[in-house]
Structure 1
Amino acid sequence: MNLFLELRRHGKLAEKRHPMYEKSKFGKFWMYFMSVFWAGYLIFFGTTFAFAFDGGAKEAYHVMNSGLIFILALDFLLRLPFLKTPTQEVKPYLLLPIKRSRLIDFLLLRSGLNSFNLLWLFLFVPFAIITVTKFYGIGGVLTYCIGIWLLIVFNNYWYLLCRTLMDERIWWVLLPIVVYGGIAAALFVPDDSPLFGFFIDLGEGFITGNILTFICVLVAISLMWFINRSIMQKLVYNELNKTEDTTVQVKTVSEYKFLDRYGEIGEYIRLELKLLLRNKVCRKSLYSVTAIVLIFSLTISFSDIYDGGSRDFFVLYNYIIFGILFLSPLMSYEGNYIDGLMSRKESIYSLLRAKYILYSIALIIPFVLMIPGMVTGKVSVLECTAWIIFVPGAVYFCLFQLAVYNNKTLDLNAKMTGRQNVGTGLQNLIAGGAFGVPLLLFFVLNATVGKEVTPWILLVVGILFIATSRWWLRNVYHRFMKRRYKNMEGFHDSRQK
């Protein structure tokens, strides 16, 4: 326990001394605002579900419990753009007489106690207060919420296992595909799937405080803990000892000569492509996000799982995930060679324009993958067109503001032992807002002006931001240059030694 408290204190000190630590009242205000926004969002849905499910053949909490698997799957997906594997600067601690397994245990414990695991309680607590108290009182609400929290903790460790393996080998993306594909088949292929009954009984066990139910969940968490610890310990050892370096060979080298005609902008697009395709961290992220978009697109196009409001959620997710993943750490990868970029006049502006053009073009990928959905009538052509214009317009405008404030260098190859995998508060804030605000805007517009008018409004807003992109990119560039010495100091201090 003393070791855990000491390392936790070190983590807090590292955050406060971090070059990305934001102390401005404005930044804190928006952090609190977005937290309250998402909490209110879930409270609203929890209250709505409580009254919507009431009055049927089953009790409302039985209906909610039958859909717990969908909550867990959605939780898994939401973690992908926002949460990385729990890493810390473990190198200094490995020089001390501390077992590596104890360090990994600390990382896993810190992940299990992450406040993100409490997010879904804003949905379940108001739901339970309205529906469970009628039969089981406050005690039933308390045990039910504890059980839900334990399920989310289990899901957290399941996500860590998949994310760790996918970061190491992209083919491990097949693991969650097979698991969730098998669950989907078990849910929808039989006429009366036993899985629905299983989750109803599981939720009933939580509500009644059944000791056996809690023991089974704790055993499952312990099993996931042990598997994660074994795999992470092995990967940390391999990374620290560079065991893979002797086997890596460059087989092909592409110079992307077709970009020569575009001058300096083409040079920086070439630089960005090489960064994405030749570095371990960026390449794995690119492959993972492409696989995710492909899976969602095919699922939306050829199944009824995401019909209704959830379909709009995942359509937007497909378009916005590229920007959140690669533009939230804007300029952080360039921190490895920022001195060379700063040696040429206005090279940063050209780099920003190149990034904007490249990641705007990248949105063609989800648009093409959604064509089967347009053909089958699951997705509107106008809606997809609206998102492919709105996202590089309004959403990218918000994400590019991070170029001014990001001053932490992200290592291009280290995954398990580097601090780079821990997102900053400002990055998480803007990334969360970049996804949540367009989704809320879409639902509000649908409710007020109708589904026919909403895409046209999104199109107009997106076109305005795209038409003025040179102006606001120039503004970002000038603000970056005013902070250049502070940012360069942060890039230098946070480089991996």
Structure 2
Amino acid sequence: MISHFLKLEWKQFFRSASFGKSVALKIVMGFFALWMLLGFLSISVGGYFILKEEFPDKDPFIVVNNFLIFLLISDLIMRYILQKIPVMDIKPMLILSIKKKKLVNYILTKSIFSFFNFGALILYIPFSIVLISKGYNLVGVLGWLFFMLMLTLCINFINFLINKNNIALGVLVVFLAVVWLSYQYQFLDITVYFGKAFYAVYNYPILSIIALLSVTIFYYLNFKQLSNALYLDGAIKLKEEEVNSADLSFIDKFGDVAPFIKNDIRLIWRNKRTKMVFFMSFFFLLFGLVFFTVKTYRDSEIWQLYGCIFLTGGFAMNYGQFVPAWDSEHYRMLMTQNFSYRKFLESKWFLMVVMTVVLFILSTPYIYFGLDKYLLIVAGFFFNIGFTPLVMLYMGAFNKKRIDLGASGFGNTQGTSAAQFIVMLPVLVFPIIIYAIVNYFVGFNAAIIAIAAVGIISILLRNSIMNFIEKKYQQKKYSTLHGFKQSE
């Protein structure tokens, strides 16, 4: 039966209507996955020697065990964001003479072979080989390795239990922040206690059985949960929700563009994928903590500028790269209405600009890291408020892949094409090139002014540029309509 399921999925993959269209995207994602695995391998093989050099008076294995809690919590958060239960087209199967437990067992077994779990193999196995070559106890290392691999599977099944539970995600993020703060400021350092627990598995390999028992328990809990949900009229049916309309009358003061702004706000708040883009914009505010504190980046102004572009431009980039595909489900209806195309585009521009201003205000506390760091944020802000929205709108004219607004926003590549990768290049690369050249020949302050000037000039030329963009959308109107009719 398992082999039959695999054959069906194989046929589904190659017979999909979107296979030919998205083959380039699959190749790009494949290269990205390979690049990540090579990164895991380099960390795994070289981690021991790097830690030995950085902490010459400490055992690298003990240091790794102390930091494992960060890796495990981050892994669970990333799975929550990106990993989905590998459910095939299960609905047609439920009317066939196939035992439900076989379907559930197949789904859960398939999840074991996910990219995340394979990444754990690349991360832990070479590191264990290095430990054995350095004279660590063979049985202890193998027990520790088995424990970590089983713990990875536990995280795999825990993710399916808590998936789509925003409270669980909030608890994980808060817990990760508490652990990091306790380590950073040495106030009741929690990492030491977790490190001792992981190291105890090395000293007493029999403790690895605990992880195996935990995997069994979480597998059973997932089995029960999925078994109770797999009904034709159960969890797999479309969920209907009553929509509560908010009072957006204050937007009326913006004139003719107000109705479009209202529609965009409702679209963002009422749909999963757009709502996720909105909340992820605030997540990008944390980039400053990475680029201003991590040793690898804090001494490089190029990397810091790269982080500052994301800091205030998170919403403009993530929302703007899918314009006008956000409206793909009702785009044909829109094109039959007697309205100004310019107003439709200006509503998108307005949202990107307003959110950029909001993110800039929220980034004010980063002035704590120094005026030079904050000036990079200011330069990124002016660039993102002027240049970025216009580039995103222009590239949107070439976007012809529809988006299912009700689908999950995490790990969802539906509606993604090569245009989404190309549009990021001018926004991320252009300011870096400007900074590198001007800073080399003139200096830091001149480079900051040059980047900000690009944004200011873009604002001053907005009307002319928007006229050009509007004509491009009108030229591409019918090809866009045809593209949005196609299903993924």
Contact 1:382 1:455 (C-alpha < 8 Å) held by counterparts: yes
Aligned partner of 1:339 in structure 2 is: 332
Separation in 2 of the partners of 1:388 and 1:425?
28
Name which of structure 1's ranges 253-262 and 460-469 shifts more when overlaid on structure 2: 460-469
Name which of structure 1's ranges 368-377 and 147-156 shifts more when overlaid on structure 2: 147-156
Alignment RMSD, CA only?
Answer: 5.4
Show CA shifts across 1:260-317 (max 9, x none).
6342x4432221111122x2525753675377568x49x959xx99655578698766
TM-superposed deviation, 1:234: 6.0
3-state secondary structure, aligned to 2:134 = helix
Asked whether 1:366 is paired with 2:359, we answer: yes
Give me the TM-score of the superposition, normalised by structure 1: 0.69
Separation in 1 of the partners of 2:417 and 2:289?
29
Asked whether 1:176 is paired with 2:172, we answer: yes
Aligned partner of 1:281 in structure 2 is: 272
Aligned partner of 2:18 in structure 1 is: 18
What does 1:284-433 align with in structure 2 at a 5 Å threshold?
A: 285=276, 288-289=279-280, 292=283, 296=286, 300=289, 308-309=295-296, 319=312, 321-323=314-316, 326-327=319-320, 330-344=323-337, 351-375=344-368, 380-391=373-384, 393=387, 397=391, 401=395, 404-412=398-406, 422-424=412-414, 426=416, 430=420
3-state secondary structure, aligned to 1:164 = coil
Separation in 2 of the partners of 1:399 and 1:199?
49
Structure 1 letter corresponding to 2:380: W
Separation in 2 of the partners of 1:151 and 1:80?
16
Separation in 1 of the partners of 2:127 and 2:371?
31
TM-superposed deviation, 1:379: 9.0
Give me the TM-score of the superposition, normalised by structure 2: 0.70
3-state secondary structure, aligned to 1:423 = coil
Aligned partner of 2:211 in structure 1 is: 217
Which runs of 5 or more structure 1 residues have no equivalent in the other structure?
Answer: none
Shift of the 204–174 alpha-carbon distance from structure 1 to 2, 3 Å rule, reads same
Separation in 1 of the partners of 2:146 and 2:423?
29
Contact 2:321 2:395 (C-alpha < 8 Å) held by counterparts: no
Separation in 2 of the partners of 1:76 and 1:386?
35
Shift of the 184–361 alpha-carbon distance from structure 1 to 2, 3 Å rule, reads same
3-state secondary structure, aligned to 2:365 = helix
Shift of the 152–438 alpha-carbon distance from structure 1 to 2, 3 Å rule, reads farther
Separation in 1 of the partners of 2:122 and 2:456?
36
Contact 1:300 1:306 (C-alpha < 8 Å) held by counterparts: yes
Contact 1:324 1:399 (C-alpha < 8 Å) held by counterparts: no
Shift of the 39–283 alpha-carbon distance from structure 1 to 2, 3 Å rule, reads closer
Contact 1:154 1:220 (C-alpha < 8 Å) held by counterparts: yes
TM-superposed deviation, 1:410: 0.5
| Structure ranking higher on relative contact order (CA contacts 8 Å, 6+ apart) | 1
TM-superposed deviation, 1:409: 3.9
Query: Percent identical across equivalent pairs?
Result: 17
TM-superposed deviation, 1:258: 2.6
Contact 2:379 2:451 (C-alpha < 8 Å) held by counterparts: yes
Which runs of 5 or more structure 2 residues have no equivalent in the other structure?
Answer: 299-303
Contact 1:411 1:420 (C-alpha < 8 Å) held by counterparts: no
Asked whether 1:271 is paired with 2:263, we answer: yes
Separation in 1 of the partners of 2:399 and 2:458?
21
Show CA shifts across 1:430-464 (max 9, x none).
579959x9599979x89x96995775675466667
Aligned partner of 1:9 in structure 2 is: 10
3-state secondary structure, aligned to 1:477 = helix
Name which of structure 1's ranges 146-155 and 54-63 shifts more when overlaid on structure 2: 146-155
TM-superposed deviation, 1:81: 5.9
TM-superposed deviation, 1:57: 1.9
3-state secondary structure, aligned to 2:164 = helix
Contact 2:320 2:389 (C-alpha < 8 Å) held by counterparts: no
**Bigger Cα Rg:** 2
Separation in 2 of the partners of 1:104 and 1:371?
49
TM-superposed deviation, 1:20: 7.8
Contact 1:398 1:430 (C-alpha < 8 Å) held by counterparts: no
TM-superposed deviation, 1:395: 9.1
